[in-house]
Structure 1
């Protein structure tokens, strides 16, 4: 029995891909394909929900941490451990297997290397998550690789449409979820060393966040068998301004309305570490959720969490149980595409 009256729904395993650290999931409406990364494998996964076909592109870096489609062409942007890079168009998925042929790829261009070279080389810091604002500006954040260190060496950078870069934040522990309200007036942000979601007022004309404050603190226990653990990780927003955020090492996604109230929780049963959700599908009425191996971030239990690292999904369509809670006016939203 849950110690609260928040409705709980269950996502289902969509693809048994067994990623080590699945992250960065994004829907591309122009191709109707889903993409995500397995960070430490430095791979970009592509999946066709209509056919079940799957492809994997591997890059020669220590990690591939974030990806985003672009407005101008079929190339993607991505972040390696210390650089923002241009990636070629992902391989079109054709193989009907969770472990398809690995395609060796090279980045087509290094766009920027804003992080301290020495700190990247000695693995003190690396890039992690990112996001795109409604104008196409790209935000990329870094993290300290020792997540127990007292010093927070991470940063958050913004790239304007002319590729001018600006440091927005420093003293960041683990730069994670980042997203914008439908009207572009609010920016939500997570530093996972702090167990909370922050919100900024956002000036869309200049790309400037201000007036940082706490939007939501840690959630209640999922149920009697699943106490509150972990921290907030990646997030996305739907088309009515609700924030959907993965709970790292706590096996769930938490839905929060614009007033900061929890409206629903989604269980990823059999997985310890949900990492980030996104909306996709023909009508943006499917939520996709990446997960990490149960060994990531602490002791693992593969027997207890056999689906850790798999790709999950849950239906948000008109007849779905969760839609009955959200109401008839609900709609999904696609992540913004990079304009640089």
Structure 2
């Protein structure tokens, strides 16, 4: 028996896409489409959940690590291994097939290349996850590609609406989840080398985080058969201020209320680890979860985790089991869009 009373729910496989490193999942309410990336394949995946149609766009870079829709322009702001870029609209998915046609695309414009070029070239560092605040500013973080190195060479940058770029943090191990409270006055942040979620006070008028401190540490074991392993990865926020953080190499998503209390855990059975969740669907009542191949982050076992790399989902609708725990006042939230 588990040594806690935290309710546990199960996500289900939605798309057997078998990504190498599925990440960056984001819902676009304007198009009612879901997008995510497969980082080292430099691919942007697009799904129409209402039809099951799926498309894949391939970019000519070593990585495509992050995407966010734009507020008033089509396409995305995205990150390659060393650049913040503007990407065109995704190919509209029209076919329901397990092997979508791969469409070749190119970035429309390079916005920023703030990382040291020699460190990107020799693969010491690369961009990883990012986030957008309520004003549409883009935060993009980098990571050291040798995750066992004692030196943390990563950084967190902010790109403002006028094109100003500002280094917010240095000595970052693996820059991951970024999210903002519903009132915009708190910023949550994950450096996966620390295995904790941190919190900052945040000034939406200036884009400045301050008073960095620990929000939560590692969660308890899922149950006796599944101990606490791995680290926190990507996160998303819901509409009532709860944080939902994926566990790399630990097969679950953790729900945490604003007080820092764990309120739910969501398993991704058949996958070794979740990478990032988001809310989407017509009423923002579906959670989508990307995962990585079982060999990522250490020795894998594809036979034991056959759905590693697939896309999962779980219903948060009014009659769902998890909604009964969260209560009638719960609501989902879409990620902020980039105003660049």
TM-score range, shorter chain: over 0.9
DSSP-derived class of the 2:67 partner: strand
Q: Does 2:59 correspond to 1:59? A: yes
CA shift, 1:291, in A, is: 0.1
Relative to the length of structure 1, the TM-score reads: 1.00
CA shift, 1:73, in A, is: 1.2
Kindly report which structure 2 residues correspond to 1:189-338, keeping only aligned pairs within 5 A, or say none. Answer: 189-338=189-338
> Residues 11-70 of structure 1, C-alpha deviation per residue, up to 9 Å, x if partnerless?
000000000000000000000000000000000000000000000000000000000000
> Residues 273-310 of structure 1, C-alpha deviation per residue, up to 9 Å, x if partnerless?
20000000000000000000000000000000000000
DSSP-derived class of the 1:209 partner: strand
C-alpha separation in 2, matches of 1:48 and 1:2: 37
C-alpha separation in 2, matches of 1:268 and 1:75: 30
C-alpha separation in 1, matches of 2:302 and 2:36: 22
Kindly report which structure 2 residues correspond to 1:151-190, keeping only aligned pairs within 5 A, or say none. Answer: 151-190=151-190
Count of aligned positions: 340
CA shift, 1:264, in A, is: 0.1
Q: Does 2:7 correspond to 1:7? A: yes
Residue number in structure 1 paired with 2:129:
129
Residue number in structure 1 paired with 2:120:
120
DSSP-derived class of the 1:324 partner: helix
Residue number in structure 2 paired with 1:87:
87
> Residues 63-105 of structure 1, C-alpha deviation per residue, up to 9 Å, x if partnerless?
0000000012112111000000110000000110132000000
C-alpha separation in 1, matches of 2:13 and 2:263: 23
C-alpha separation in 2, matches of 1:73 and 1:256: 33
Write out the 4+ residue segments of structure 1 that deviate beyond 3 Å after TM superposition: none
C-alpha separation in 2, matches of 1:95 and 1:233: 31
DSSP-derived class of the 1:120 partner: helix
C-alpha separation in 1, matches of 2:52 and 2:152: 41
Structure 2 gaps, min length 5: none
CA shift, 1:227, in A, is: 0.2
Residue number in structure 2 paired with 1:48:
48
DSSP-derived class of the 1:325 partner: helix
Residue number in structure 1 paired with 2:74:
74
C-alpha separation in 1, matches of 2:229 and 2:94: 39
Residue number in structure 2 paired with 1:28:
28
DSSP-derived class of the 2:318 partner: coil
Structure 1 gaps, min length 5: none
CA shift, 1:220, in A, is: 0.2
C-alpha separation in 2, matches of 1:117 and 1:299: 31
C-alpha separation in 2, matches of 1:320 and 1:197: 28
DSSP-derived class of the 1:331 partner: coil
> Residues 93-122 of structure 1, C-alpha deviation per residue, up to 9 Å, x if partnerless?
011013200000011111110000000000
